[in-house]
Structure 1
Amino acid sequence: MTAMAQSRKSHRGRRQFSTCLLLLLTLTHSVGSDAGALPLGRTAASIATASGSNSNNPENNVCLSNMKNKNGQCVIPRGGSSAARASDPGTLSESLKVLGITGAMVYLKDQFSTAAAEWWVGAQTTRFLLAGAVAGIVSRTAVSPLEVVATAQMVRGGNKGLVGELSSLWASEGLKGFFKGNGANCLKVAPTRGVQFFAFEKFKLSLVKWKRQSMGVAEDADVSLSPLERLVAGGFAGMVASSMVYPIEVVKTMLTMYPGKYAGIGAAFRGLLAEVGPRGLYAGLTPTLIAMFPYVGVEFMIYETSKIAIEAFLKEKSEDGAFVALPVIISLGLGALAGAAAQTSAHPLDVVRKRLQVQGINGNPVLYKNTFDCFAGVINKEGFTALYKGLGPACVATIPGTGIAYITYEFMKGVLNLSSV
């Protein structure tokens, strides 16, 4: 019997018990009367009538004050005055009402719990999105100071090293400066990473189904993907995710470069719309989409291909041939390697994207018409090496950031009972 079936059986059992309890209490109340076999509360007059005694006899009408109900009747429970205890039928009726409401609440709670459990089991999309979002937030917050320095160097250039930039940032803005724009960054990276991981899993699954059909094998046959196929799946996943959340990326850049200008994320959105219009929210989108294909594709390809190869090696070397989970330190190293390779391959496009985002804002001149014009302009004015400005801090941020993201993602997959192809 599956866990879900056992859960349903347990819920049905609790509902049946609640129903039986209510029926029993109702029947007990209905048969309890003055002459009944199960009197829950009897008056002095009813006792006298049932026994044939004279109700006018003072000895039979003795009633303690604390034995009278709200109507002034003397209530003598079964067992006589020597075992007398007050029992108010009105109070019993109210108790039954409370029990009925409680039973209904238990029933509704069980129904809701069952429906929620069934939805969660089938909500694979939501679980993948959640796992990716948590991975993105944790990793990006951990490397926020390095992200701030990398963004500053890509936009304005400069020859300060990483330590010099961090020291200058600490001296001018303190600890707060290390996390400026991080709110917008997390607001961007949570859906971005969530969509990336989810779309990557879906693209891989589609490729596996296509390969099975082209090979003419069963639907559940074991089919593996090549590194190139994983690169393609990751590339498209990166493009889909970036196109969905790109305006938040622009806002994050503004908050990082001009922290005193906008009061917050909402103010930055309104300021951008006022200065450059809706078009400004998508400045630099073309190089972003071009960059995301190799960036995310290379990252996913290197990480997953290496991970699968190492897991196969560990399984082969194990005594019983059982699956061996990848150690955390190896996952961190593979994520770092994947992040460094991805950042290096896409960094020139990242520089162009940042330059296009800030032009025309906060007094910055509009220097470039489009992506290709920006490439040519940066190379002519600053040299080819300008396309790699900020690569050091970017890699330093990407290496631990990507490693932390994959560790968190693998952890969340275990918590949410998810698996990959």
Structure 2
Amino acid sequence: MSSNTKTNTLSSSSSISPLPGDVYTILKDIDVLPNPNLHFRLQLPRQAQEFLDKREVREFMSGALAGAMTKAILAPLETIRTRMVVGIGSKNITGSFVQVVEQQGWQGLWAGNMINMIRIVPTQAIEFGTFECTKRAMASLQEKLKQNECPKLQIGCLNLSLNLSWISPTAVAGAAAGVASTLVCHPLEVLKDRLTISPEIYPNLGTAIRNIYKDGGIGAFYAGLSPTLVGMLPYSTCYYFMYDTIKKSYCLTKNKKSLNRLEMLMIGALSGFTASTISFPLEVARKRLMVGALQGKCPPNMAAALSEVIREEGLKGLYRGWGASCLKVMPSSGITWMFYEAWKDILLVQKGISL
């Protein structure tokens, strides 16, 4: 066959409609369309695109991305903080850091980080998503109650007006965010702590899951859930309330409509510091309950754990590891809020979704 014949054959074949079921038809059906530069654009089905364009979904995505990026950076501080809170090894930050490196090498600073990353993505997504949805719902409810007469409750001769204007939507949303994320993701927190504290017993995620289930069944994955919820409520409520309040006050004082990244970092760090300081004794009790079984002495409840700490170490024992906790919480809170606001700008503001 001559070259001219080949050329004509190729030219004519390019104009022939593809047969049903061939590669071109399949790619066309799923909207993978080639451009002249041979780059490909994948267009999702309409239902999937509509789902991803929802405000709530993008807020969940922003929280997940912010949490993952923060934990990747601050994993060593999380390891040291956990060791100091439960009383393992050195009682100071530098000594604990050196011990981990000497015993496990530099990779020991990232012990349990894989499960931490798996944990933080759904945790932060649920937490920030719940916070934003609850805050909007509460604000909307309060606005409706302002426009209409407040419902009244009559008990005998006593008439009560159910006025919700005194309730902070941010505080309620913060509490709801903490509770929701804890209920869903608590087993991952248990796994993370076991991998961090006892890598010789739980060398990897699969072994940790098997051993924990073998020792206590499904309930073992929810060890310390009650004290976690009790400790989470004041922390989460204060954390979100402080950030929102300081942010609004700062913008009002400086006559600004929005914050720059450095300002978000500082305000986020301050809110984390305040919330952590208020709730830290409950955090100490929670960690004791969660890993106490590993040391052969597990307090029966939070009150017993707090009493045990006070009896053994005095009141200052309630804040053992507080410095390491602040060292971790402050940059973590600041970086998380900075990343979260940045991702919201990318995923919401640039898509024309108002905040």
What's the TM-score, normalizing by structure 1? 0.70
Q: Which has the bigger relative contact order, CA under 8 A and spacing at least 6?
A: 2
Q: Deviations over 1:2-27 (max 9, x none)?
A: xxxxxxxxxxxxxxxxxxxxxxxxxx
AA partner of residue 97 (structure 1)? S
Asked if residue 106 in structure 1 is aligned to residue 28 in structure 2, the reply is yes
- Of residues 233, 237, 245 in structure 2, which corresponds to 1:305? 245
Equivalent residue number for residue 327 of structure 1: 260
Alignment of 1:4-403 (within 5 A): 92=12, 95-98=15-18, 102=24, 105-106=27-28, 108-109=30-31, 113=44, 115=46, 116-121=48-53, 123-156=54-87, 160-216=91-147, 228-314=168-254, 316=255, 324-361=257-294, 364-403=295-334
- Whether contact under 8 Å (1:201, 1:420) holds in the other structure is no
Q: Give the direction of change, closer, same or farther, for the CA distance of 1:232–1:324 in structure 2 (3 Å limit).
A: closer
In the aligned structure 2, how far is the partner of 1:141 from the partner of 1:257?
19
Between the aligned partners of 1:143 and 1:274, the Cα distance in structure 2 is 32
Amino acid aligned to 2:105: G
Structure 1 residue 95 displacement after superposition: 4.7
Identity %: 29
> Any gaps of 5 or more consecutive residues in structure 1?
1-64, 68-83, 218-224, 317-322
CA contact under 8 A between 2:51 and 2:57: conserved in structure 1?
A: no
Quickly say closer, same or farther: Cα 1:106–1:392, change in 2 above 3 A: same
Aligned-partner Cα distance in 2 for 1:383–1:185: 32
Amino acid at match of 2:74: V
1:50 aligned partner: none
Q: Relative to structure 2, which stretch is displaced further, 407-416 or 296-305?
A: 296-305
Is contact 1:284-1:352 (8 Å) kept?
A: no
Amino acid at match of 1:119: F
Paired with 1:262 and 1:420, the residues of 2 have a C-alpha distance of 46
- Within 2, Cα distance between the matches of 1:367 and 1:87? 82
Contact 1:137 1:189 in 2 (8 A): yes
In 2 relative to 1, CA 95–303 (structure 1 residues): closer, same or farther, beyond 3 Å? same
**Per the alignment, do residues 107 and 337 of structure 1 end up closer, same or farther by CA in structure 2, a change over 3 Å counting?**
same
Q: Is the 8 A contact 2:139 2:169 kept in 1?
A: no
1:301-350 Cα distance to aligned partner (Å, 9 max, x none)? 11111112222334x3xxxxxx6431211111101101111111111111
User: Structure 1 stretch 183-192 or stretch 151-160: which is displaced more?
Assistant: 151-160
Aligned residues: 324
Structure 1 position 158, deviation (Å): 6.0
CA pair 309-189 structure 1, distance change in 2 beyond 3 A: same
Task: Spell out, residue by residue over 1:189-246, the C-alpha distance to the aligned partner (whole angstroms, 9 max, x if none).
Answer: 11111111000011101111111110117xxxxxxx9884312210121011111110
Counterpart contact for 1:157–1:389, Cα < 8 Å: no
**Alpha-carbon shift at residue 93 of structure 1 (Å):** 6.5
Residue 249 of structure 1 aligns to a residue in which SS? helix
> Which residue type is aligned with residue 200 of structure 2?
G
Distance in 1 between the 2:30 and 2:354 partners? 36
**For the structure 1 residues 194 and 278, does the alpha-carbon distance in structure 2 shift closer, same or farther, using more than 3 Å as the test?**
same
1:23-62 deviation digits (Å, cap 9, x = unpaired): xxxxxxxxxxxxxxxxxxxxxxxxxxxxxxxxxxxxxxxx
Asked if the contact 1:280–1:357 (Cα under 8 Å) also holds between the matched residues in 2, the reply is no
CA distance in 1 between counterparts of 2:316 and 2:279 reads 14
Matched residue of 1:291: which SS?
helix
- Paired with 1:415 and 1:280, the residues of 2 have a C-alpha distance of 40
Note the C-alpha offset of 1:136. Answer: 1.1
The amino acid of 1:120's aligned partner reads L
Distance 1:268 1:420, change over 3 A: farther
Query: Which amino acid in structure 2 is aligned with residue 339 of structure 1?
Result: G
Q: Which structure has the larger Rg over C-alpha atoms? A: 1
Give deviations 1:87-136, integer Å, cap 9, x for gaps: 98899468513398647743541795461443332x32321111111111
Q: CA separation of 1:372/1:160 partners in 2, compared to 1, >3 Å: closer, same or farther? A: closer
